[in-house]
Amino acid sequence: MIKNTANPLLLAMVLAASPGLAGAAEHRGEHAPAAKPYLYKTPKLNRAQFDVLLAKPEELLIVDVRRPDELTRVGGFPVYLSVQAKQLDAALPFIPKDRSIVTVSNHAGRAGAAGDFLADRGFKVVGAVGSQNYEEEGGKITKIAPVRKKAK
């Protein structure tokens, strides 16, 4: 009688390393979608660049353009102006022009578009940042607990 002594982890490593099998998933269209290219004039900031700006909070305004559900699910920065991207035009009178502005979204796509929008209207936009990118680079974001309605 022959015993099956194959290690499942070893088997997975061998299959993954096999050139003939590695591309099989790709041929079936199972690869992860490529990240969208960043095409905005507003500079996309990495963690180190954003940390330098965060060190001078009196000069900075963070405008987070995500939906409330994204803020609670993903988290964000401790102090920010929350304006959804589609409502940015209506919020212009409430955004000060005397501060450096960093726009925020999950991966900086909407933040870049919002930064360009604000810059075109005379605001001093210094960059866009993705909160998830910032966290992936080792930065600490604040998790925001949703407000729970009291049961009656």
Task: Give 62-109 pLDDT, tens digit per residue.
Answer: 999 999 999 989 999 988 999 999 999 999 999 999 999 999 999 999
What pLDDT was estimated at residue 6? 39
Q: How far is residue 124's CA from residue 24's CA, in Å, rounded to a whole number?
A: 49
Q: With respect to residue 97, please indicate whether it lies within any of the assigned structural domains.
A: yes
Q: With respect to residue 37, please indicate whether it lies within any of the assigned structural domains.
A: no
Q: With respect to residue 42, please indicate whether it lies within any of the assigned structural domains.
A: no
pTM of this structure = 0.74
Q: How many domains does the chain have?
A: 1
Q: How far is residue 43's CA from residue 24's CA, in Å, rounded to a whole number?
A: 38
Q: With respect to residue 112, please indicate whether it lies within any of the assigned structural domains.
A: yes
Q: How far is residue 24's CA from residue 31's CA, in Å, rounded to a whole number?
A: 10
Q: With respect to residue 1, please indicate whether it lies within any of the assigned structural domains.
A: no
Q: With respect to residue 141, please indicate whether it lies within any of the assigned structural domains.
A: no
- CATH number reported for the structural domain that contains residue 66 in this entry: 3.40.250.10
Q: With respect to residue 79, please indicate whether it lies within any of the assigned structural domains.
A: yes
